[in-house]
């Protein structure tokens, strides 16, 4: 088995058989002929007469292979390739330039314009088929490599058990959230929370039951947060931090109270045993402009942590709030999560 096949198999990504392809040409007869040849080689091919059709397909991730008739002009090919190589596209688009027959330098021009490969428009069908097969292998490998990169990126920022962001992400992103709030003079709130009597659940019902509670907690938290705005990170063990941009103390407390009531209504089941899911919440928020002076992400977490311990001292299963006050001469620090400082 080849390295490519091993990687593809290990990621459970099928080889891109019957993959999509576009043929860009203003010549309808030539376009239809190439589309037919692609179909014979197992591609789901269609024609396009405008570069915009290619770009739309690329932005949707629907087309890993494009054949471009260079009669659209060198500047047009270069512009199209520049768009196809721009960051942010969901996948790499392999570009095969179909160049002027008999022009030895046309392929060089196409490659310098950004194409991956090129050949004359009068090339034998067998040669075009062979190049298409090479393009399919490369597109498949690129797809597998990008999937592996994405998986590694998720592992670097997400908690494997719950799917929440991890402590590393919290340490990196909370200071950025605070800086944005400071720059645009917006409120920012943090909830420190952990599960009540979680050790008792692990000791009595086993760690699988504890894992079930952690996963349920994160799933319920996400269902009540604003997508793409709020986020939750696992700081460690049964401790979590929920970050609420553009949310003041009153709003954050309302979010925590709503979440607390929702948890109280749940009864997760593990191996025929009904488990109680209860949590305590500490709220810290910054909203007044003068409160930002000297405030660090570490300090904000520290105040949320203090509020969390107040909630526990009051009997657990509740929400408490501690105002954010910045001591004189406070220095910069990086966040360490609940219990730090």
Query: Would residue 305 show up in a list of annotated catalytic residues for this protein?
Result: no
Please state, in angstroms and rounded to a whole number, the distance separating the CA atoms of residues 5 and 219: 36
* Spatial separation of the C-alpha atoms in residues 13 and 130, rounded to whole Å: 23
Single out the catalytic residue among 159, 194, 196, 238: 238
The gap between the terminal CA atoms of the chain, to the nearest Å, is 53
Question: How far is Cα 255 from Cα 245, in angstroms, rounded to an integer?
Answer: 12
Q: Which of 276, 215, 272, 266 is nearest to 240 (CA)?
A: 215
Could you tell me how far CA 170 lies from the centroid of its own chain? Answer: 15
Instruction: Name the pairing type of β-strands 188-195 and 239-245.
Output: antiparallel
Residues classed as catalytic: 238
């Amino acid at each position: 088995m080849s390295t490519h096949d091993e990687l593809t198999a290990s990621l459970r990504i099928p080889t891109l058989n019957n993959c999509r392809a576009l043929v860009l040409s203003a010549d309808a007869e030539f376009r239809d002929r190439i589309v037919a040849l692609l179909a014979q080689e197992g591609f789901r091919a269609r024609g396009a007469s405008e570069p915009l059709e290619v770009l739309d397909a690329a932005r949707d991730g629907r087309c890993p292979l494009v054949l471009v008739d260079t009669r659209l002009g060198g500047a047009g090919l270069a512009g199209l390739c520049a768009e196809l190589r721009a960051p942010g596209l969901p996948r790499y688009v392999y570009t095969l330039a179909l160049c002027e027959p008999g022009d030895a330098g046309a392929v060089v021009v196409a490659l310098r314009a950004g194409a991956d490969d090129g050949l004359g428009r009068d090339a034998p069908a067998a040669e075009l088929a062979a190049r298409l097969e090479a393009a399919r292998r490369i597109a498949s490998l690129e797809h597998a490599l990008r999937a592996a990169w994405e998986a590694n990126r998720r592992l670097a920022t997400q908690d494997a058990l719950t799917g929440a962001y991890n402590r590393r992400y919290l340490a990196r992103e909370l200071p950025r959230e605070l800086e944005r709030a400071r720059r645009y003079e917006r409120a920012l709130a943090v909830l420190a929370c952990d599960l009540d009597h979680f050790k008792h659940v692990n000791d009595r019902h086993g760690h699988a039951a504890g894992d079930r509670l952690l996963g349920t907690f994160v799933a319920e938290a996400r269902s009540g947060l604003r997508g793409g705005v709020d986020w939750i990170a696992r700081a460690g063990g049964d401790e979590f931090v929920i970050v609420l941009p553009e949310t003041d103390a009153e709003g954050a407390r309302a979010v925590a109270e709503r979440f607390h009531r929702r948890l109280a209504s749940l009864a997760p089941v593990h191996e025929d045993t009904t488990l109680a899911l209860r949590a305590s919440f500490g709220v810290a928020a910054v909203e007044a402009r003068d409160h930002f002076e000297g405030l660090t992400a570490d300090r904000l977490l520290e105040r949320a942590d203090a509020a969390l311990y107040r909630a526990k001292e009051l009997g657990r299963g509740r929400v408490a709030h501690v105002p954010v006050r910045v001591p004189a001469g406070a220095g910069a620090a990086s966040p360490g999560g609940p219990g730090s400082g």
